[in-house]
Amino acid sequence: MKAVIGSGLAALFLAWGGAALAQDESTNRVDAMTDWSVFEGSDPRECWAVTTYKESVNTRDGRVVAVTRGEILLMVFFRPGANVAGQVAFTGGYPFADGSTVNVNISGTEFELFTEGEWAWPATPQDDAKIVTAMKRGADAVLTARSSRGTTTKDTFSLLGFTAAVEDAERRCTS
């Protein structure tokens, strides 16, 4: 089930044009709360809270390296027509290593995201809910992943404004 949702996320991301998610001038952006933005789409109806990283460290063989990456985004989606409520998604801006997972550390609590292509998400809706709860309580989220080229990435996302943004996105897609 998640693979279908994940593939749908990839298609949605491409349709939105990744940069539009992070840019203020997007026509879908309806609000901003500190480090998080809220977007709303109408066909299909969907709402999401999104942020980009505050710090990124890329290493290979234990040494810091410079790499080129696409958009690096952490999101929470609501799609009432697909019964999606609070789905966590991460794109690291590169294809993840086959069979790898992404480690999520939120104020000392760790979670795992499964990967497919350039996308990662929790295994179940229950895991989504646990991560969202931790994000509401935390100050930052650190996501550690491995690219298909063997680079380890460690991206730190601020959670300032997360609670207000995710609650706004949820409200917009349930009213």
Q: Which pLDDT does position 42 carry in this prediction? A: 83
Tell me the CATH number for domain 2-172.
2.60.40.1880
50-75 pLDDT per residue, tens: 999 999 999 999 999 999 999 999 99
* Strands annotated E in the chain: 29-33, 36-42, 45-52, 55-60, 63-64, 73-79, 84-91, 101-106, 109-116, 119-121, 140-146, 152-158
Q: Quick one: pLDDT band at residue 28, thresholds 50, 70, 90? A: confident
Tell me the domain boundaries of the chain.
2-172
The predicted-structure confidence for 42-56, as pLDDT tens digits, reads as follows: 878 899 999 999 999
Pairwise pLDDT comparison (92 vs 20), residue with the higher score: 92
